[in-house]
């Protein structure tokens, strides 16, 4: 008994993120070794994803209300504009980097297009539709469906109204409003404790997920697409290094890139494992709060928004995949066509949700726009579980980088604590 306890304590004394990293690698290796047999434990990984999804809406709701306590509507407006601006700008840069890498590596040359899948093109959501979708017609329904934008909207107006009541209501009501904020603060803390618990389970969950993926697909499926995977990976590494680390972290925050990566590693690993920005959100918020020391008045708003509208990796993939598709059919894309991709993919990434595989849906829009064969989507679908991981990891890192920048511009980040020192 005594011995078991010390073993457990030893295990717990290893930082969580290292335990998760080891389980990620071990799971992948076990999947490759034992193949199909490992698929039977994948459900343990699916439980991990369900647990994260379970906490997404409550954590957005309560932290945002807390955030509104400190934020005047005018400051919220300024933060909102800056956030959307930087999210769009970094996305456009990401696509340009993706196009550059794909032009350099030329993925798809030498492959022949073969697929039996019937693919239909999705339409890019129109501007009106995107705006309309922010407003819920039923608050409970929006939360029950896990609609992030609508939940953000309601939490913001609820928080602002509560802050107004706290200042201007009758004495008794003021007191209760104050109490309500205290209660919400406590619940937010509880949420972060739950996230921590879910991450502890994640050590097992991520092992199972990776074992399942590699057990199912193996390496053979991946090899023909090595150049495509490599182009995306390289573009992601360049984007993270130049745009986030060099420009934002070193240039604006004047901090070491390692301190940012150190503070974001839980988020990056979770995204790599579960392929969903929205699902990773509780962990992203946890890293912003506890490691990057960003004030909740900023991250409670920018991170849920980023998980929904900011997808640098996904948008970048559109560029890489379009060049791949053009090469498959032996047709070169003109500069004009490549610029169309920048515009279409930036807009489409705003309108597409951060869930597994949504990048593939976007690809149908981009291919249609360029008149490239939609069958390509069926062709790459088999390896999308791999590509999606790389894209999603980039997506969430971008959310944290832009959030740090916006926080810095608004004096809402403590660069003398957390992983910054
Ligand atoms: N899975 C990605 C995300 O959640 C979207 C995608 O590229 O498919 O951010």
Beta-bridge mates of residue 409:
none
Query: Contact, 90 vs 310, CB < 8 A?
Result: yes
Helix, strand or coil for residue 413?
strand
In angstroms, the CA 76 to CA 84 distance is: 12
Backbone angles phi, psi at 54, to 5 degrees: -55, -35
Given the CA of residue 354, which atom of ligand 1 is nearest to it? 4
Neighbouring CB atoms inside 10 A of 109's CB total 12
Neighbouring CB atoms inside 10 A of 333's CB total 21
Helix, strand or coil for residue 294?
strand
Q: What is the pLDDT of residue 330?
A: 86
In the reported structure, the alpha carbon of residue 172 is separated from the centroid of ligand 1 by a whole-number distance in angstroms of 47
Given the CA of residue 280, which atom of ligand 1 is nearest to it? 4
Q: What is the pLDDT of residue 228?
A: 94
Through-space distance between the first and last CA atoms of the chain, rounded to whole angstroms = 39
In angstroms, the CA 116 to CA 114 distance is: 7
Supply the CATH number for residue 374's domain: 1.10.3860.10
Q: What is the pLDDT of residue 117?
A: 62
Number of domains the chain contains: 1
In angstroms, the CA 22 to CA 28 distance is: 10
125 backbone φψ class: left, alpha, beta (φ>0; ψ -120 to 50): beta
Q: Is 308 in the pocket of ligand 1 (CB under 6 A)?
A: no
In the reported structure, the alpha carbon of residue 232 is separated from the centroid of ligand 1 by a whole-number distance in angstroms of 14
Distance of CA 401 to CAs 44, 53, 143, 149, 325, Å? 31, 23, 27, 20, 31
Residue 162 lies in a domain: yes
In the reported structure, the alpha carbon of residue 395 is separated from the centroid of ligand 1 by a whole-number distance in angstroms of 7
Task: Count each helix (H run) and each strand (E run) in the chain, helices first.
Answer: 17, 0
Q: What is the pLDDT of residue 3?
A: 62
Q: What is the pLDDT of residue 108?
A: 83
In angstroms, the CA 345 to CA 312 distance is: 10
Instruction: Provide the 8-state DSSP code for 249.
Output: I
* Low-confidence spans in the chain with pLDDT less than 70: 1-4, 114-121, 123-126
E strand intervals along 100-255: none
Query: Contact, 107 vs 324, CB < 8 A?
Result: yes
Q: What is the pLDDT of residue 416?
A: 96
In angstroms, the CA 402 to CA 82 distance is: 9
Q: What is the pLDDT of residue 141?
A: 96
Q: Is 399 in the pocket of ligand 1 (CB under 6 A)?
A: no
In the reported structure, the alpha carbon of residue 351 is separated from the centroid of ligand 1 by a whole-number distance in angstroms of 12
Q: What is the pLDDT of residue 365?
A: 85
Q: Hey, which of 277, 381, 397 would you mutate to test ligand 1's pocket, going by the most ligand atoms within 8 Å of its Cβ? A: 277
In the reported structure, the alpha carbon of residue 380 is separated from the centroid of ligand 1 by a whole-number distance in angstroms of 15
In angstroms, the CA 124 to CA 127 distance is: 9
In the reported structure, the alpha carbon of residue 354 is separated from the centroid of ligand 1 by a whole-number distance in angstroms of 5
Q: Hey, which of 276, 305, 366 would you mutate to test ligand 1's pocket, going by the most ligand atoms within 8 Å of its Cβ? A: 276
Largest pairwise CA distance in the chain? 76
Q: Is 311 in the pocket of ligand 1 (CB under 6 A)?
A: yes
Neighbouring CB atoms inside 10 A of 83's CB total 23
Residue 44 lies in a domain: yes
Residue 5 lies in a domain: no
Q: Is 53 exposed, middle or buried (0-12, 13-18, 19+ CB in 10 A)?
A: middle
Interior angle at CA 339, CA 355 and CA 227, nearest 5: 60
Tell me the residue range of the domain where 272 lies.
15-420
In angstroms, the CA 245 to CA 257 distance is: 5
In the reported structure, the alpha carbon of residue 56 is separated from the centroid of ligand 1 by a whole-number distance in angstroms of 16
Q: Is 358 in the pocket of ligand 1 (CB under 6 A)?
A: yes
Q: Hey, which of 388, 389, 394, 397 would you mutate to test ligand 1's pocket, going by the most ligand atoms within 8 Å of its Cβ? A: 388
Quick one: which of 150, 185, 180, 143 has its CA closest to 164?
Answer: 180
DSSP codes joined into one string, 183-224: HHHHHHHHHHHHHHHHHHHHHHHHHHHHHHHHHHHTTTTTGG
Backbone angles phi, psi at 276, to 5 degrees: -145, 125
How many CA atoms lie less than 13 Å away from 275 in the CB half-sphere? 17
Q: What is the pLDDT of residue 103?
A: 93
Residue 255 lies in a domain: yes
In the reported structure, the alpha carbon of residue 308 is separated from the centroid of ligand 1 by a whole-number distance in angstroms of 10
Distance of CA 57 to CAs 50, 62, 400, Å? 12, 9, 19
Beta-bridge mates of residue 285:
none
Residue 4 lies in a domain: no
In angstroms, the CA 89 to CA 223 distance is: 34
Given the CA of residue 360, which atom of ligand 1 is nearest to it? 8
Ligand 1, atom 3, lies closest to the CA of 354
In angstroms, the CA 52 to CA 262 distance is: 22
Write down how long the chain is.
421
């Amino acid at each position: 008994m005594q011995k078991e306890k010390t073993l457990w304590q030893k295990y717990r004394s290893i930082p969580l993120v290292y335990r998760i990293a080891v389980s990620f690698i071990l799971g992948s290796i076990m999947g490759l070794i034992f193949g199909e047999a490992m698929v039977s434990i994948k459900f343990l990984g699916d439980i991990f994803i369900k647990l994260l999804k379970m906490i997404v809406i409550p954590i957005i709701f309560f932290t945002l209300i807390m955030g509104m306590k400190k934020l005047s509507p005018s400051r919220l407006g300024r933060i909102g504009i800056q956030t959307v601006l930087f999210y769009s700008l970094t996305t456009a840069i990401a696509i340009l980097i993706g196009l550059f890498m794909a032009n350099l590596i030329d993925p798809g040359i030498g492959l022949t297009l073969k697929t039996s899948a019937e693919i239909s093109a999705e339409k890019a959501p129109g501007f009106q539709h995107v705006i309309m979708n922010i407003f819920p017609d039923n608050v409970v329904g929006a939360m029950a469906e896990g609609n992030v934008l609508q939940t953000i909207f309601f939490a913001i107006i609820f928080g602002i109204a509560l802050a107004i009541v706290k200042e201007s209501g009758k004495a008794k009501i003021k007191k209760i409003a104050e109490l309500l904020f205290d209660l919400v603060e406590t619940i937010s803390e509880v949420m972060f404790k739950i996230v921590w618990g879910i991450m502890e389970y994640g050590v097992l969950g991520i092992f199972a997920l990776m074992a399942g993926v590699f057990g199912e697909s193996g390496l053979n499926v991946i090899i023909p697409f090595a150049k495509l995977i490599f182009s995306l990976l390289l573009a992601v590494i360049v984007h993270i290094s130049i745009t986030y680390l060099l420009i934002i972290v070193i240039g604006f925050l004047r901090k070491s890139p390692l301190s940012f990566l150190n503070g974001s590693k839980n988020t990056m690993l979770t995204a790599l494992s579960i392929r969903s920005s929205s699902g990773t959100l509780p962990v992203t918020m946890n890293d912003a709060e506890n490691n990057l020391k960003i004030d909740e008045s900023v991250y409670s708003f920018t991170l849920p928004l980023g998980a929904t509208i900011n997808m640098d990796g996904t948008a970048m993939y559109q560029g890489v995949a379009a060049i791949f598709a053009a090469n498959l059919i032996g047709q070169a894309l003109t500069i004009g066509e490549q610029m169309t991709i920048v515009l279409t993919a930036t807009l489409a990434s705003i309108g597409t949700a951060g869930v597994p595989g949504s990048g593939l849906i976007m690809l149908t829009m981009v291919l249609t726009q360029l008149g490239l064969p939609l069958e390509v989507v069926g062709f790459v679908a088999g390896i999308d579980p791999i590509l999606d991981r790389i894209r999603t990891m980039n997506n969430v890192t971008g959310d944290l980088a832009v959030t740090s920048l916006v926080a810095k511009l608004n004096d809402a980040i403590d660069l003398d604590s957390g992983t910054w020192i």
